[in-house]
Amino acid sequence: MSKLVDVKFSNNEMFVLSSREYPCIHVFTLSGEKSRSLLGTRGYETLVIGTFFFCLDGKNNILISDLTANIIKVLSPEEDILYTIGQSRHGAGIFYVLFDIEYTNKTRLSF
């Protein structure tokens, strides 16, 4: 199962693709006209700009860290995740969930 997240970064369209099988999220840039490519159709070229790792603590907070294991952000699902924009199913068991997220700088995720 994968999650797809819309991200704003330096006024460019970005998204994060995460996987339950691997505890990390990969941040990509998008190029080309925005379409339904993120929901299973073709059309986007991507460029990886960063990889972040995440885990749940004992209080169900999400800890996000960079490759040097520095904690970037602690997310409380009740307080920090604003809302779900939409969702779509495509393929065998792939589940996309879109959030409205602002990526404020290279060292912090702001939800």
**pTM value surpassing 0.75:** no
- The DSSP code sequence of 37-97 is GGGT-S--EEEEEEEEEEEE-TTSPEEEE-TT--EEEEE-TTTT---EEEEEEETTTEEEE
Say what percent of the chain tops pLDDT 70: 0
- The pLDDT of 8-35, averaged and rounded, is 38
Q: Return d(Cα 11, Cα 107) in angstroms, integer.
A: 17
- Give the pLDDT mean for 63-74: 49
Give the whole-angstrom CA distance, residue 3 versus residue 47: 18
pLDDT reported for residue 58: 54
- Taking the domains of the chain in order of start, what are their residue ranges? 2-110
Mean pLDDT, to the nearest integer, of 14-36? 38
Q: How far is CA 46 from CA 38, 49, 74, 111, in A?
A: 11, 9, 27, 23
Distance in angstroms (rounded) separating the CA atoms of residues 102 and 20: 22
Residue 111 scores a pLDDT above 50: no
- 103 pairs with which residues across the strands? none
Inform me whether the pLDDT recorded for 2 exceeds 50: no
Confidence of residue 59 (pLDDT cuts 50, 70, 90): low
Residue 63 confidence (pLDDT) above 50: yes
